């Protein structure tokens, strides 16, 4: 597969290239804040850049009309409206967290949510590396949106932590804690690879990562 990366020089861009080349795929397009290089037209573009890069990502996909796998966080409703527009022309797979574990955690949270009433306190904590620009994480926001109330979020920025998310449910007599921790960026790049390979067979439309996992 010929693929492109927007956010090539970043932590995720570099991790994507490492896993994709191991899988035998060919990098033909790369874009960063101040550079862009294309040797052939890509069959799919992977975006792990930044919120401020998003308008340019939209323009690149509008121009190249190729499928998009996007993991960039910090996107707002207007950005999602632009993704929906792109998805009229090409398949788009979006996830704030491409790890299998977080998608399992999401299902567990939906289950617990059926049992806890207003007598239970619920709080979410996330820990990431010191260089992460957005706070709270996109994953924490996504997990919070699975619950039927506004959730207190706590963020730590420590060293080179790859990503830890903890959801605590507490009544006055007990605490139930669900936690996921990434030990490597491969936790995310594996899901991005699965999505990039799957998207080649998809019709135009907006797809979540769970939809790809369940296929
Ligand atoms: N969905 C998921 O599974 C995951 C999502 N992420 C998200 O991916 C994004 C990138 O994370 P990192 O690689 O750690 O960040 P980073 O800061 O290491 O890399 C950001 C990249 O974006 C590029 N960039 C910045 N402005 C740009 C612009 N205007 N045009 C094009 N490129 C531009 C930079 O050159 C750099 O290559 C973040 O939003 C992060 O939250 C990170 C890990 C997993
Ligand atoms: O910036 C990161 O590293 C990560 N960001 C994503 C997020 O904001 O949820 C996903 C993962 O936790 C790693």
From the candidates 25, 31, 128, 165, give the one annotated as an active-site residue: 128
Same domain, yes or no, for 60 and 18? yes
CATH code for the domain of 42:
3.40.50.720
Answer yes or no: do 13 and 65 share one domain.
Answer: yes
142 and 201 in a single domain? The answer is no
Confidence of residue 155 (pLDDT cuts 50, 70, 90): very high
- Both 120 and 148 in one domain: the answer is yes
SS3 114: coil
Q: Does the pLDDT value for residue 215 go beyond 90?
A: no
Strand order through the sheet with 152-157: 152-157, 121-128, 164-170, 175-181
Whether the pLDDT of residue 185 is over 90: the answer is yes
Same domain? For 172 and 113 the reply is yes
Assess whether pLDDT exceeds 90 at residue 148: no
Q: What is the CATH number of the domain that holds 176?
A: 3.30.360.10
The pLDDT of residue 203 is 98
User: 128 and 80, same structural domain?
Assistant: no
Say yes or no to pLDDT of 184 above 90.
yes
Domain count, the chain: 2
Q: With 0-12 CB in 10 A as exposed, 13-18 as middle and 19+ as buried, what is 75?
A: middle
% of the chain at pLDDT higher than 90: 99
Residue ranges making up the domain that contains 195: 2-97+186-214
Of 145, 149, 94, 87, the C-alpha closest to 117 is 149
pLDDT, position 152: 94
Q: Are residues 74 and 175 in the same domain?
A: no
Residues 4 and 46 sit within 8 Å (Cβ to Cβ): yes
132 carries an active-site annotation: yes
**Statement to judge: residues 54 and 157 lie in one domain:** no
Q: What is the C-alpha separation between 213 and 215, in angstroms, rounded?
A: 6
Detail the residues annotated as belonging to a binding site for NAD(+): 7-12, 40, 71-73, 95-98
CA-142 nearest atom, ligand 2? 9
For residues 72 and 141, membership in a common domain is answered with no
Full-model pTM: 0.97
156 and 171 assigned to the same domain: yes
Q: Per-residue pLDDT averaged across 148-162, rounded?
A: 95
Residue 205 sits in the same domain as residue 143: no
Peptide bond into 176 cis (omega under 30): no
Tell me which residues have their CB closer than 6 angstroms to ligand 1.
6-13, 31-33, 48-50, 52-53, 56, 71-74, 95-98, 134, 138, 188
**Tens digit of each residue's pLDDT (9 = 90 or more) over 10-50:** 999 999 999 999 999 999 999 999 999 999 999 999 999 99
Residue range 71-129, pLDDT digits in tens: 999 999 999 999 999 999 999 999 999 999 999 999 999 999 999 999 999 999 999 99
Q: Is 133 a catalytic residue?
A: no
For residues 84 and 126, is the Cβ–Cβ distance under 8 A?
no
Kindly write down the DSSP assignment for every residue of 84-104, as one continuous string: HHHTTTSEEEE-S---HHHHH
Same domain, 124 and 205: no
């Amino acid at each position: 597969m010929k693929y492109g990366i927007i956010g090539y020089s970043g932590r995720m861009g570099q991790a994507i290239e490492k896993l994709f080349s191991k899988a035998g795929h060919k990098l033909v397009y790369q874009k960063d804040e101040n550079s862009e290089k294309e040797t052939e037209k890509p069959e799919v573009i992977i975006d792990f850049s930044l919120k401020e890069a998003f308008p340019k990502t939209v323009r690149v996909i509008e121009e190249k009309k190729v499928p998009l796998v996007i993991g960039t966080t910090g996107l707002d409703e207007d950005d999602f409206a632009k993704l929906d527009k792109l998805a009229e022309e090409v398949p788009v797979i979006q996830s704030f967290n491409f790890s299998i574990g977080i998608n399992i955690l999401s299902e567990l949270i939906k289950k617990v949510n059926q049992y806890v009433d207003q007598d239970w306190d619920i709080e979410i904590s996330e820990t990431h590396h010191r260089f992460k620009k957005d706070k709270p994480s996109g994953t924490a926001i996504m997990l919070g949106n699975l619950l039927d109330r506004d959730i207190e979020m706590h963020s730590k920025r420590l060293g080179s932590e790859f990503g830890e998310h903890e959801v605590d449910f507490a009544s006055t007599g007990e605490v139930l804690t669900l936690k996921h921790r990434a030990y490597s960026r491969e936790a995310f790049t594996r899901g991005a690879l699965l999505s990039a390979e799957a998207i080649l067979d998809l019709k135009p439309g907006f797809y979540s990562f769970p939809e790809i996992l369940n296929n």
